[in-house]
Chain A
Amino acid sequence: MTMTIDPQATELMKNAGITPRSELVAAIEADVNKIYYGDFLAVRDSHIAIEKGKITGFIGPSGCGKSTVLRSLNRMNDLIPIFRLEGSVTFLGQDIYAPNIDPVLVRRNIGMVFQQPNPFSMSIFENVAFGLRLNRYKGNVADKVEQSLRRAGLWEEVKDKLKQNGLSLSGGQQQRLCIARAIATDPTVLLMDEPCSALDPIATRVVEELMLELKEDYTVAIVTHNMQQAQRVADTTAFFSVDISKGGRTGFLVETGPTKELFSNPKQELTRNYLAGEFS
């Protein structure tokens, strides 16, 4: 589907203070009005942009819906039959929840790294080559596998045992293998759902450094429960909170801003209280 943009209309939009789609710097724009699991309202009113070439961090207390929002950005939530989203998620100008969009295609372009390392029960090489074979990669698979493992900072540790099962690696290595697997296909955006929560502090630091390097080539959105981690890696931070006023537990976006600003000078009372609670 192509969209021709009338230059005159663009001019009018600019004058009216609206940024035209073609000039947006966001890779993903999520306008989540409501997310339901069955009758349960899990998330409301969360409008957030994932900017190109930057790391966007999602923080907030448990149950605030940060993971749910992240997972709705590449339609992973569709695996849950009772999931329902009201609103839209726009990826490169296209609503990924439009009826003519196949979630499989969305997930091929928006990669994901999960909370628990989850390599496949196959060789290290085949783990990384998985997405390449899936997309019928025309180039040299071995080169691409090596390149991805190097970027994930794992190559030196595994280059002599590429035929070993990926599950034989340590937890931290497994997570870097999963990152290598996710970036091998050059996804436009990489989503990371608490990628360090199952790792020890040393492995965490390695993965964090890796994220900063990945920023050069990828757009990254990361959910973390670790404030320090968000400050270390995220350019932009989105703070979510949970509303228990109506008897349920509904998450919502409180505010978004450049990380430094959000942490040093939060605009919202809720954010200020949360950050104070975290640090005092």
Chain B
Amino acid sequence: MTMINFDTGDGTVTHGIRASERISDRLFRAACYTAAAGVILLLVYIAFQIGVKALPAMQDYGFSFFTTQTWNAQKQEFGILAEIWGTLYSSLLALVIAGVFGVSVAIFLTQDYLPRWLAQIFRTIVELLAAIPSVVLGLWGIYVLIPVLRPIADFLHDTFGFLGIFSTALPGPGLAPAVIVLAIMVLPTVAAISQDAFQLIPGKVKEAAYGMGTTRREAIFKVFLPTASSGIFASLVLGFGRALGETMALAMLIGNSNQISWSLFAPANTLAALLASSWPEAGPIEQQALLYAAVALLGITLLVNVAGVLIMAFSNKQQVS
């Protein structure tokens, strides 16, 4: 189809659309489509490849893979119930800690408690936490955190041992140090995105709150927090997603033990830690089982993110005009 150009005569600045303009426009559009499709295809391809490799294990172990908690390569008995428990329990605990601290930090850094320049420095420091390599945090956990935690854990176990969460002593690696390190790793995500949510609150909402005669605390808790709630929720979903997949530090700190316990001091295991610690010495059968576990981890992570997106779409509270 040939395109028509208007004959506007001489003396005007406007001219027809040149062929080169049309081509570059089309090329740009094609590049955008390719990039977008590439991302989606990559995700599908990875899921497919892992799924294919895990297929023999899926056929052998079926659904009981999710309901048993033995991981024995010699007997070829594989079940990941303990790892699923450990993954969700450790991530949830880390999220509670990171949520409380992350939102507090966001409030502290956005509500004029500090001069602007100082707040900016603090913000950068919090973001730098995300730059610490996982393995370094793992080493810090082993050499610093566990020795510090031990006397506290012993005290709590001796005094409040009747409570489920303190029912065992801390043998060394265990859930508590893993959760604390995990919380440190998730904190920057929660803090950064919550800060964005607070900064997006329009000035007129602040005026409305203070104009009603709120103190700063009342303005924050009664107006700003509800207004920023969907952004804060998004930060928690992303933080949770990050916690679920975190590997290295957990493999070093959690104790790699296939048991299900409420105790904060018991060794446990997570899916990601299981993959990292078992893969190097795994035979072909165990490798298939590990890939099945990888599929489970991918599924959980996707589920959490999709659920988060859906909940946000339905609540959609931050509809500020």
Contact = CB atoms under 8 A, between A and B. Distances in A.
Interface string A157-191: 00000000101000000000010011001000000
Interface string B208-233: 11111111001000110011000000
Contacts of A131: 212-213
A111 B213 CA distance: 8
A160 B314 CA distance: 22
Interface in B227-254: 227
B212 A119 contact: no
Interface stretch (A5-13, A49-57, A101-109, A202-210): A101-109
Given A120-B205, A120-B227, A167 B319 contact: yes
Interface string A108-141: 1101101010111110000000110011000000
A68 B223 CA distance: 25
A76 interface: yes
Contact of B204 (A105, A106, A116): A116
Interface in B172-199: none
Contacts of B210: 76, 79, 107
A263 B46 CA distance: 77
Contact of A122 (B215, B226, B321): B226
Contacts of B205: 118, 120-121
Given A114-B204, A167-B319, A167-B320, A120 B214 contact: no
Interface in A142-166: 165
A79 B212 contact: no
Interface residues on A, range: 20 to 34
A121 B225 CA distance: 10
Contact of A76 (B211, B214, B317, B318): B211
Contacts of A120: 205, 208-209, 223, 226-227
B206 interface: yes
B207 A76 contact: yes
Contacts of B202: 118
A205 B227 CA distance: 31
A101 to B, nearest CB: 13
A239 B206 CA distance: 29
Nearest to A108: B213
A121 B320 contact: yes
Contacts, number: 69
A167 B211 contact: no
Contact of B319 (A74, A81, A121): A121
B208 A119 contact: yes
B319 A165 contact: yes
B222 A104 contact: no
B171 to A, nearest CB: 49
Interface in B280-321: 317-321
B228 to A, nearest CB: 9
A104 B208 contact: no
A182 B211 CA distance: 9
A198 to B, nearest CB: 10
A81 B115 CA distance: 10
Q: Which of B206, B207, B222 has the most CB of A within 10 A?
A: B207
A111 B226 contact: no
Given A167-B320, A178-B208, A121 B213 contact: no
Contact of A121 (B207, B214, B215, B318): B318
Contact of B211 (A81, A107, A109): A107
Interface string A47-79: 000000000000000000000000000101001
Given A122-B226, A167-B319, A130 B213 contact: no
A106 B321 CA distance: 29
Contact of B207 (A79, A111, A119): A79
A229 B31 CA distance: 56
B212 A134 contact: yes
A74 to B, nearest CB: 8
A43 B319 CA distance: 37
B197 to A, nearest CB: 12
A190 to B, nearest CB: 11
Contact of A107 (B213, B222, B223, B319): B213
A112 B211 CA distance: 6
Minimum-distance CB pairs A-B, first 6: A108-B213, A107-B213, A118-B208, A118-B204, A112-B211, A116-B204
28 contacts: A76-B211, A81-B112, A104-B213, A107-B211, A107-B212, A108-B212, A111-B211, A112-B207, A112-B211, A114-B208, A114-B211, A118-B204, A118-B205, A118-B208, A120-B205, A120-B208, A120-B223, A121-B227, A121-B317, A122-B226, A130-B212, A130-B222, A131-B212, A134-B218, A165-B319, A178-B208, A181-B212, A182-B212
Interface of B: 112, 202, 204-215, 218, 222-223, 226-227, 317-321
